[in-house]
């Protein structure tokens, strides 16, 4: 057995993202993906695998739990999901227990950087059709759409967009929409606004919209936007660049930017192309780093 993936089933939202995107074309035909509940995962003791990849969430396993597992078996790659609160800097130390650590959330001002630790996009919900063909902007029937739970901040966002983007076709649902229909809605939308959830501005919605060719719209302070949307880039010149989305300080400004783009279909189509290129470049770079990590001896 050459490659083995140890996957905590508690990361159910990311199964397709990890196995069909991040690990796509990297693992050989003989690879096995074991799905475990957290207690069983932490007891894993088979040391026969030549290449071992761990996928876990720090919502269910402590740093000590994962460190103990990593010291018992030879982990080549660790994919750390969750930690959206930014309260677990100890997990940075996992970088000394594997060749590569990838993680969903990164806090550049709180966590010490490491040369083999990189942030990745949050991903897309399992069963989201990532291989759909994005429609050109001129063929989309909705100017904007929002699907999801609505808290106070999101209600303010919706109210502002409705008042600023007057008579512009839109679709708003509080939930209960099948994932395939979500993708279809985004593939018919020009913009997909996103407001803070429980903790951060970052959200699966941003990447699901991107994959469908819609333009995410995000509001926040310059400082928070810069700290939140940090990604894995291949060149020093790209470090610090924000994704090619619409960013604004408030929803009135965001609406103004949307209206301006609607008047310039060439610029709008260019933004869609740049956004899709940006996302898939991030995925390919993560794949490249994983491939390199599993081809080398474990750094332990």
Check whether residue 110 and residue 170 sit in a common domain: no
Check whether residue 147 and residue 76 sit in a common domain: no
Domain presence at residue 275: no
**Mind listing the pLDDT tens digit of every residue in the chain (300 residues)?**
477 999 999 999 999 999 999 998 877 666 789 999 999 999 999 888 888 999 999 999 999 999 999 999 989 999 999 999 999 999 999 999 999 999 999 898 888 889 999 999 999 999 999 889 999 999 999 999 999 999 899 999 999 999 999 999 999 999 889 999 999 999 999 999 999 877 899 999 999 999 999 999 999 999 999 889 887 766 665 666 789 999 999 999 999 999 999 999 999 999 999 999 999 999 999 999 999 998 877 765
Domain presence at residue 37: yes
CA distances from 274 to 78, 107, 268 (A): 29, 25, 10
pLDDT at 50: 81
Domain presence at residue 214: yes
Check whether residue 33 and residue 115 sit in a common domain: yes
Give the count of domains, the chain.
2
pLDDT at 1: 47
Check whether residue 114 and residue 146 sit in a common domain: no
Check whether residue 105 and residue 177 sit in a common domain: no
pLDDT at 131: 86
pLDDT at 106: 87
Domain presence at residue 90: yes
Please report the sign of the dihedral spanned by the C-alpha atoms of residue 273, residue 219, residue 200, residue 172: negative
Check whether residue 33 and residue 108 sit in a common domain: yes
Domain presence at residue 72: yes
Check whether residue 145 and residue 256 sit in a common domain: yes
Check whether residue 159 and residue 234 sit in a common domain: yes
Domain span at residue 47 reads 3-120+282-294
pLDDT at 29: 64
Check whether residue 55 and residue 159 sit in a common domain: no
Give the domain CATH number at 290.
Answer: 3.40.50
Which DSSP string corresponds to the chain?
--EEEEEEGGGGGGHHIIIIIITTTTS-TT-EEEEE-HHHHHT------SEEEEEEETTTS-HHHHHHHHHHS--SEEEEE--TT---GGGGGGGGSSSEEEES---TTTS---TTEEE------TT--TT--PPPGGG-SEEEEEES---HHHHHHHHHHHHHSTT--EEEE-S---HHHHHHHHTTEEEEEE---SS-S--HHHHHHHHTTPEEEEE--HHHHHHHS----SSGGGTTPPPSSEEESSHHHHHHHHHHHHT-HHHHHHHHHHHHHHHHHHHHHHHHHHHHHHTS----
Give the domain CATH number at 218.
Answer: 3.40.50.2000
Check whether residue 169 and residue 256 sit in a common domain: yes
Check whether residue 142 and residue 115 sit in a common domain: no
Check whether residue 163 and residue 207 sit in a common domain: yes
Domain presence at residue 268: no
Structure tokens at 96: 């000394």
In this structure, the strands spanning 246-248 and 215-219 are: parallel
Domain presence at residue 51: yes
Domain presence at residue 65: yes
């Amino acid at each position: 057995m050459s490659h083995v993936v140890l996957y905590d089933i508690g990361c159910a939202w990311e199964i397709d993202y990890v196995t069909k995107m991040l690990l796509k074309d990297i693992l050989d035909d003989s690879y096995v993906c074991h799905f475990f509940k957290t207690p069983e995962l932490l007891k894993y003791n088979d040391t026969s695998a030549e290449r071992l990849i761990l996928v876990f969430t720090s919502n269910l396993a402590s740093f000590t739990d994962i460190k103990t597992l990593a010291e018992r078996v030879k982990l080549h790659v660790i994919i750390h999901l969750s930690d959206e609160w930014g309260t677990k800097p100890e997990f940075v130390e996992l970088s000394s227990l594997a060749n590569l650590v990838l993680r969903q959330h990164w806090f550049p001002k709180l966590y010490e950087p490491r040369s083999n630790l990189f942030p990745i996009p949050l991903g897309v919900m399992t069963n989201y059709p990532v291989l759909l063909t994005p429609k050109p902007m001129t063929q989309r029937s909705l100017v904007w759409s929002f699907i999801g739970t609505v808290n106070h901040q999101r209600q303010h966002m919706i109210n502002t967009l409705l008042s600023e983007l007057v008579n512009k076709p839109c679709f708003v649902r509080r939930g209960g929409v099948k994932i395939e229909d979500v993708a279809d809605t985004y593939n018919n939308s020009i913009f997909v606004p996103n407001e803070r959830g429980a903790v951060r501005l970052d959200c699966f919605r941003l990447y699901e919209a991107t994959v469908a060719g819609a333009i995410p719209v995000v509001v926040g302070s310059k400082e928070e936007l810069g700290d939140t949307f940090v990604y894995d880039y291949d060149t020093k010149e790209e470090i610090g660049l924000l994704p090619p989305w619409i960013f604004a300080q408030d929803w009135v400004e965001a609406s103004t930017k949307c209206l301006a783009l609607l008047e310039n279909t060439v610029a709008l189509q260019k933004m869609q192309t740049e956004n899709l290129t940006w996302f898939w470049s991030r995925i390919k770079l993560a794949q490249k780093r994983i491939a390199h990590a599993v081809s080398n001896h474990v750094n332990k």
